[in-house]
Structure 1
Amino acid sequence: MKKLILVAFVLLVGIGGAQVGYAQTDSIMENNAYTRAQIKKYPFNSYPPSKYLGMTLVKVDKVSGGYVGWYV
């Protein structure tokens, strides 16, 4: 009977420790959400430059009246 209680106690402590570790990992992932790159779009009459306002061109869309450049 003592072994059964001891095993149950060890399992409960192990499960509780796993939940604390998961919660810490989750909070770290939330902090990384603020470090993501921002993508901005700017309209151009001609083909957009590869660098604009210190940002790098990642995508170009052809629209009526010119182009839209997506920058990171």
Structure 2
Amino acid sequence: MNGLIAYFQNCLEIVSNLITSLGVVTVALNIRKFRNDVDAHRKQDEQILIQNSINFLRKFAEQIIPEAKRKQK
């Protein structure tokens, strides 16, 4: 009887160690994914800001400058 209990206890200990190891790996992967997502969002925000600046400069060059030149004449 004691042998069966010891065997069952060893099996549970092995399962517990495996689950703990998998949990640590899962947490590490999630942290890495979170960091990658943060970087991706930061790059996307920068691209949006750049595109907005380009659009503003294009509008300035195509509309505001020609209009200002017409008013000077």
TM-score normalized by the length of structure 1: 0.52
1:53 is aligned to 50
Q: How does 1:1-72 map to 2 (within 5 A)?
A: 1-36=2-37, 37-38=41-42, 40=45, 52-54=49-51
Distance in 2, matches of 1:34 and 1:4, equals 45
> 5+ unaligned residues in a row in structure 1: which ranges?
42-50, 56-72
Distance in 1, matches of 2:5 and 2:17, equals 18
User: Which entry has the higher C-alpha Rg, 1 or 2?
Assistant: 2
> 5+ unaligned residues in a row in structure 2: which ranges?
53-73
Distance in 1, matches of 2:28 and 2:49, equals 35
Richer in helix (by share): 2
Give 1:53 deviation, angstroms.
2.0
Q: Which has the higher contact order (CA 8 A, sep 6+)?
A: 1
TM-score normalized by the length of structure 2: 0.51
Instruction: Give the paired residue count.
Output: 46
